[in-house]
Chain A
Amino acid sequence: MEINISINGESRTFDVEPRTLLVHLLRDNAGLTGTHVACETSICGACTVLLDDKAVKSCTVLAAQAQGCEVTTIEGLANGDQLHPLQEQFWEKHGLQCGFCTPGMILTANQLIASNADPTDEEIRHGIEGNICRCTGYQNIVDAISAAAAQMRD
């Protein structure tokens, strides 16, 4: 089936099987491999992307459900050479090690800050509960999100 979808601001058309998951369209058809698959049960959040500005787990969204929608992936977050504040702060605060969870974590955090511009640590920890990181113990991720929120408020 044909799917029209805007990915990181660019309108694109794909011909895929109806059962194709959004994450596989992004990775295999659109060639955007920054979105990762790590659990296929929508628990770990490594596949998180923004679907019409809402964070969704793209391993449990059919590509067909994204018909006519705007998708933002980690590749589309920076503004040209200018990193997004979340990207900057994850780097600054050592909020990643192996990096596999990072794209999903950053996009979830993006939605968190969009709905709460000044989150407490507790609110951040609650907000990223749906994203698993096995490397960092989360502390530097919490600090990165907190610092990015502050930067975005300025």
Chain B
Amino acid sequence: MTVDLVLVAGGAAAGAFGSLLGLGGGVLIVPLLTLGFGLPLREAVGVSLVSVIVTSSAAAGVYLERHVANLRLGMTLELFTAAGALVGGLVAFALPERLLAGLFAALLAYTALTMARRGIARGPRPAEASGPAGASGTPPTPATATDAAGETPGAAAEPAPPAGPADVVAGDATRRGWLTGSNPTSSVPFVASLAGPGYAIGRFPLGVVGSVFAGVVSALLGVGGGIIKVPLMNLAMGVPLRVATATSNLMIGITASASAIVYFLRGGIDPYVAGPTAVGVFLGALAGSRAAPRIDVRILRLLFVVVLAYTAVQMALKALG
């Protein structure tokens, strides 16, 4: 098999595993390209960003069609993730590769820990393509989009909003201007207007800060950043998990795009590597999302925790030189 087809296969495996385990492509593609194919980390990040755009945009299209994603909230927050991604993309070219490898090792360790805790916290359950990390760009098939959004129907995993809708809006509206309501052009506070059916938006300023951080992380490490955005929207802002996951997918596209432009224009994306990888990840994620309802991922997840931990160690060793 030629190297290009090996890249397609590797991308497909990363896409399929990511889809089955609720992870985005980036956290798998970057180690695959650096440790498996010997690519410089920065180049792997550029390639990963393209794959993340492709998979998350495909997923976002399905979520929007089903009206699961909150377009207005997503666009408002992505203004800040994109700004963070622009800064991160520019900074990435100034940072030493070893530092980036160290940061990536920390991200892998955090992801492994999160997955292990999810595995312990949940009882036996069939395949899942969900959870916070699942926001990172798995294209759901039309048949599985709702499940892939992060929740099994009726699951009681949704935390209550941090404050009641009325408290949030009324409290903020008395303190802030344009953002929350004293704008003379509208009688509806801005943050209140971002709410969806059955939920209000709380702690908007925290959402803004967290979004900037997610954008920086995405650009530095080539990941979608859903592992930050979904908990931020769900736990801090009171957005239902399904909506948060779908909205995160929508946001990932523009976040990754802002930094991918920096990588592209600075010659940081090799089309001979990015093409096969992106095609592979897309096909793999599609296959994974179709197979998810039929696969018990508990053992797969445990195996993956081990693989992620091992990869984190390898990345850490790379960082230490």
Same complex: no
Give the interface of A toward B (CB within 8 A): none
Give the interface of B toward A (CB within 8 A): none
